[in-house]
């Protein structure tokens, strides 16, 4: 399937008795930004390492860019890029030297290396930093340099493992603009993150929880499934209101945001009047309004549903 970059079925990884990734099915379309959303320890990094051939799965099948992984992992190396959250740079080499070294490792000729490095320095706003040692760059500059290094050989597929965890919000926004530029040029990008706002940017995303795939789809499709189940409660006594709602049947979660409460209800009790009735004793000034669901709501529903299924007796 030429329109599919990655297809995995039953992907599983065990470390002794620990199941780090449990029977995950994935389909990643070409030229898409595909997100992995989940907390630390959810299996995102382990899954990425299996997909790019760095880790052998305990079970399941993987096909990446038409190659069977891990059997054809060596053939895959020159067709992919890989960037980790720790920015694998040589601190004692200059910005230019880092890119030249990575280009040489990827087999570019001397002429192609010079041309490509010049292009990347301009594209990632590092041309005025060429002689500066990589170890002295700011977090955002290191991030741009690491991305430039990961794409120096023009990979068809780019793996990014929590690449924005150590940079400021402005650098994160600029970084995502670069990712969409790459996708527009035909590069498939698989990026892991635990930031909800980043996940909302993806063309499609998977939510992982304790090694299990608990949701998969476009951000719009995933949030649409929760339509009518999220409410905003405004009250002069938000802490007291939260205590009341936390104990009510039909209320899945209550999160305080400043002086407001964001309430997520189960699909059997999506009713604003019910909430108003429960809060009648809290105070006279209580306002309950429906709001649009977001990916945080999707994450709460997906992970709690999976947890409740795990707790059910066999």
Counting residues of the chain whose pLDDT is more than 90, the rounded percentage is 73
Q: Is a pLDDT exceeding 80 seen at residue 311?
A: no
Which residues are within 8 A (CB) of 113 and not within 5 positions of it... i.e. 6 or more apart?
A: 100, 103, 104
Q: How confident is the model at residue 308 (pLDDT cuts 50, 70, 90)?
A: low
Average pLDDT over residues 91-107: 96
Question: How confident is the model at residue 309, as a pLDDT?
Answer: 53
Percent of the chain residues past pLDDT 70, beyond the cut? 95
Mean pLDDT of 9-15: 98
**pLDDT tens track for 169-206:** 888 899 999 999 999 999 999 999 888 888 999 999 99
What's the confidence (pLDDT) of residue 314? Answer: 43
Give residue-wise pLDDT tens across range 222-234: 999 999 999 999 9
Confidence (pLDDT) at 312: 47
Contact 91, 135 (CB under 8 A): yes
Give me the pLDDT at residue 158, please. 97
Domains of the chain are: 4-218 (3.40.50.300), 228-291 (3.30.70.100)
Instruction: Name the CA radius of gyration of the chain, rounded.
Output: 23
Which has the closest alpha carbon to 306: 178, 167, 209? 209
- Any residues with CB less than 8 A from the CB of 204 and at least 6 apart, and which? 28, 29, 32, 34, 35, 216, 217, 218
Helix axes 110-123, 139-150, angle to 10 degrees: 140
Mean pLDDT for 34-57 is 93
pLDDT band per the 50, 70, 90 thresholds, residue 306: low
pLDDT, tens only, 253-294: 999 998 899 999 987 666 788 788 888 877 657 889 999 999
Q: Which of 84-88, 133-137, 146-150, 236-240 has the lowest mean pLDDT?
A: 84-88
């Amino acid at each position: 399937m030429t329109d599919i970059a990655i297809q995995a079925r039953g992907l599983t990884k065990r470390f002794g008795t620990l199941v780090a990734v449990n029977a995950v099915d994935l389909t990643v379309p070409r030229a898409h930004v595909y997100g992995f959303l989940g907390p630390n320890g959810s299996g995102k990094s382990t899954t990425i390492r299996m997909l790019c051939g760095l880790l052998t799965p305990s079970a399941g099948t993987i096909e990446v860019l038409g190659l069977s992984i891990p059997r054809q992992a060596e053939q895959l190396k020159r067709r992919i890029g890989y960037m980790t959250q720790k920015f694998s740079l040589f601190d004692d080499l200059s910005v230019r030297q880092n890119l030249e070294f990575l280009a040489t490792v990827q087999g570019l000729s001397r002429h192609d290396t010079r041309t490509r490095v010049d292009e990347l320095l301009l594209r990632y706003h590092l041309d005025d930093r060429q002689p500066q040692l990589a170890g002295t760059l700011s977090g955002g500059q290191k991030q741009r340099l690491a991305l430039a290094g990961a794409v120096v050989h023009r990979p068809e597929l780019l793996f990014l493992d929590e690449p924005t965890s150590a940079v400021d919000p402005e650098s994160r926004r600029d970084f995502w603009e670069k990712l969409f530029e790459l996708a527009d040029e035909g590069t498939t990008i698989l990026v892991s993150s635990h930031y909800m706002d980043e996940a909302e940017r993806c063309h499609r995303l998977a939510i992982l929880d304790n090694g299990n795939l608990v949701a998969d789809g476009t951000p719009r499709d995933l949030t649409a499934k929760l339509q009518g189940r999220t409410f905003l409660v405004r009250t002069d006594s938000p802490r007291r209101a939260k205590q009341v709602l936390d104990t009510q049947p039909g209320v899945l979660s209550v999160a305080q945001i400043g002086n407001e409460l964001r309430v997520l209800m189960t699909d059997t009790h999506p009713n604003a009047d019910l909430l108003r009735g429960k809060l009648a004793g809290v105070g006279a000034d209580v306002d309950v309004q429906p709001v649009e669901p977001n990916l945080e709501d999707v994450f709460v529903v997906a992970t709690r549903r999976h947890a409740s299924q795990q707790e059910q007796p066999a």
